[in-house]
Amino acid sequence: MRDLSQRLTDLSRPLRVHLVGVAGSGMSGLALLLMGMGHRVSGSDKVTTAETERMQGLGLRFSSPHTAEAVDGADVVVYSSAIRPDNPALSSAREKGIRLMRRAECLAAILATRRGIVVSGTHGKTTTSAMVAYALREAGMHPSHYVGAEIPVLGQNARWSEDGEWMVAEGDESDGTLALYHPACSIVLNIEAEHLDHYRDLDEIKEVFRTLLSQTSGPVVYCREDEGARSVCAGHPQAVSYGWSDADYTAGEIRELRGATAFAVLRGGDKLGEVELAIPGRHNVLNALAAIATCDRLGADFLLVSRSLNSFAGARRRFETKYLSKRLRIVDDYGHHPTEIAATVQTARQLGPERVVVLFQPHRFSRTRALADDFGKVLAGADEVFVTDIYPASERPIPGVTGATVVDAIVSHGGRATSVPDLAGAHHRVGNVLADGDLLITLGAGNVHEAGTRIARDLKVVEDLRALVPEEALEVRLYEPMRRHTTMLVGGPAQFWIEPRSFEAFAEVANYCRDRGITVRVVGRGSNLLVRDGGIRGAVIHPKGGEFGECRVDDDGHVVAGAGVRLKKVASVAEAAGLGGFEWMEGIPGNVGGALRMNAGAMGIETFDQVVRLTVLMEDGGIRTLERDEIESFYRNVPELRRNFALRAVFKGEPDSAENIRRRWDESRAKRRSTQPVAASAGCIFRNPDEIPAGMLVDQLELKGSAEGKAQVSAEHGNFIVNRGGATAAEVLGLIDRIKAKARGARGIELEHEVKIIGEDDITF
């Protein structure tokens, strides 16, 4: 490796270096360093990313996917631990005898060309590395740096400086390569039992750190609060400690501010000065002390160091605020070890939320198995936890070890936890439970942050909608399960569930969505509706209460009802006023809006047989009153209401005696009870074909009682499919397809849906 370090400094003969897996954060950092040094750098990866495109602008020769030809002419090929041995670029380099190096070996060679500062430890490395690099830069010492994440204040995760003698690098202990470094200064944050897929036990991990310290020529800065770091570092001849007390550098007068932490720094017994750290958390005070102690020993001015920490904005995915409003905050954090998670939850508590909600993605099967109880203990400190399946990284599954393992551990420690195995839909479960005052943390080293990004995107729309009208006139929820709002009790979530209580609120919401291309659907009680399992993209408006809940008889003897009124209530109000003709509504489980849109009917009567006039929100955004003769209606179809929304209806009836009305009411109820199932259903599934009633056809096809999962053709009526408890829309649709196929094949009849089927089969939002 020494010969490579010498070659790296000889720019009269620039090296041609190829990096396999260059899109990864660690490998992209090497590319930036090597290009900054003046070498010719190429890289390949299976995907093109924003980072690879940016590096191409800086001189990287990039190719995707990996090919054998990509390494032609290379002096050195560097590969990451994520690269499989049969990768075509790696295999070609091996066959051609090109020098191969692991990522850490290349970094060690680069670090050897400078006075290196290696930041090591089980957790906190990225934040501390960034703090040290930024503080030295602001102190005018022009360091190079290599950090394991994007750092906003540093501009990029790695940078080569021609002017400075120091280089700050994050050292990885996970695979033993920490022993490759020979730095001028080492920082040891903590040493815990971690990466037990590689190490035998904690003692073996400590030996790697002892090797690093034996190869360190200058100060060894360590955290006295950590038993592991103390046991390895305290005896080193150039040991420098930091901590809360009894250390060379300590923090006192700690004041936890909202989103920041202020403290005094003492060296020995002398006060160096004050720091107001721009990121929250007592664990970050320790990280800052590590940076302060290091910079002080290297001769940096404390005032300049403290100023840099005042403006240090943190690293990506290290308690990074992704969304913030008066109602909610979403934070993303990389924490995947119990100690890190405990610090993250504690920091969240310091911000004073009503609840701390966590979406946790365990990282690696081996870590989950080894530390499940510790995960349970620290996560029980949150108010509500959702746990996805395990992010495997490069590991194979371990039988019996899943996200549910962590859920069980949380519950055993008195916490509240729910398993949401599939990350693709986890944000639906989490987003739906969020309430004003909550702080949500997406937590883990995998791709759990994607869920927080989706929720943050949609929360912006929710905030916009809430700002349109007074708060009491509108309720908005994210990802509301449609199974709660359909009589069949199936269906995925509505992206935006909106309950307006006034005509004005309805109009404002509909116009907002239409202006932005957000699909709008209006749903009442969902009595003739089947929503697919992937849910409904866009806005689902459910008129409820307020003007939509009004039902009365006017001076002309007409029943006036808002779109949210149940048909059964319309019938009751009419009966009380001595108006007949509404008895058919008693058996319809829907509301006025849905009945108008579908021209629902029973007992030989249809909704529009009784309509006098409608109040309608028109497609142009205006509210108009339409008389009956302005509206065309057909069997289960009203074209006028496809793009326009009924807000209120006026119905006519006929004066009649209470006895006659009650008799017809009872007849309707008796007929329904004798012919229709009591179980959850969406009403009639198929329109009656010309040849034969659909229910009779299903009966003749001997399909009554047939089932698909928990969905079953009713034994009482062949045109009903019932949910026996826990059915999915896919099961209902599978049963519908089976009935249609048999009707087509056996009788040549093409059945058409009467039930309205909407939504996505798979999760797309």
Query: Quick check: is 125 catalytic?
Result: yes
In angstroms, the CA 53 to CA 69 distance is 20
For residue 533, the Cα-to-chain-centroid distance in whole angstroms is 18
Query: Quick check: is 170 catalytic?
Result: yes
188 sits in which H/E element: strand 185-188
Kindly list the distances between the CA atom of residue 671 and the CA atoms of 103, 409, 591, in Å, as whole numbers in the listed order: 77, 53, 21
The dihedral through the CA atoms of 300, 301, 306, 307 has a sign that is negative
Q: How many CB atoms lie within 10 A of CB 359?
A: 28
Q: How many CB atoms lie within 10 A of CB 741?
A: 11
Confirm if 160 and 169 have CB atoms less than 8 A apart. Answer: no
Query: Quick check: is 113 catalytic?
Result: no
In angstroms, the CA 313 to CA 152 distance is 7
Q: Is 209 helix (H, G, I), strand (E, B) or coil?
A: helix
DSSP letter for each residue of 696-729: HHHHHTT-TT-EETTEEE-SS-TT-EEE-SS--H
Confirm if 249 and 267 have CB atoms less than 8 A apart. Answer: yes
Selecting among 51, 52, 122, 125, the annotated active-site residue is 125
In angstroms, the CA 567 to CA 548 distance is 13
Distant-in-sequence, close-in-space partners of 497: CB < 8 Å, separation ≥ 6: 476, 477, 478, 479, 480, 540, 542
Tokens for 57, please give them.
Answer: 């602008």
Distant-in-sequence, close-in-space partners of 663: CB < 8 Å, separation ≥ 6: none
In angstroms, the CA 476 to CA 480 distance is 9
In angstroms, the CA 472 to CA 500 distance is 9
In angstroms, the CA 162 to CA 423 distance is 44
DSSP tag of 178? G
758 sits in which H/E element: strand 756-758
In angstroms, the CA 181 to CA 175 distance is 13
Pairing relation of β-strands 185-188 and 158-159? unpaired
In angstroms, the CA 380 to CA 341 distance is 11
Q: Is 452 helix (H, G, I), strand (E, B) or coil?
A: helix
Q: Is 496 helix (H, G, I), strand (E, B) or coil?
A: strand
In angstroms, the CA 462 to CA 77 distance is 50
Q: How many CB atoms lie within 10 A of CB 547?
A: 20
In angstroms, the CA 436 to CA 438 distance is 6
Selecting among 51, 150, 170, 731, the annotated active-site residue is 170
63 sits in which H/E element: strand 61-63
DSSP tag of 437? T
Selecting among 122, 126, 339, 344, the annotated active-site residue is 126
In angstroms, the CA 239 to CA 244 distance is 17
List the catalytic residues.
125-126, 170
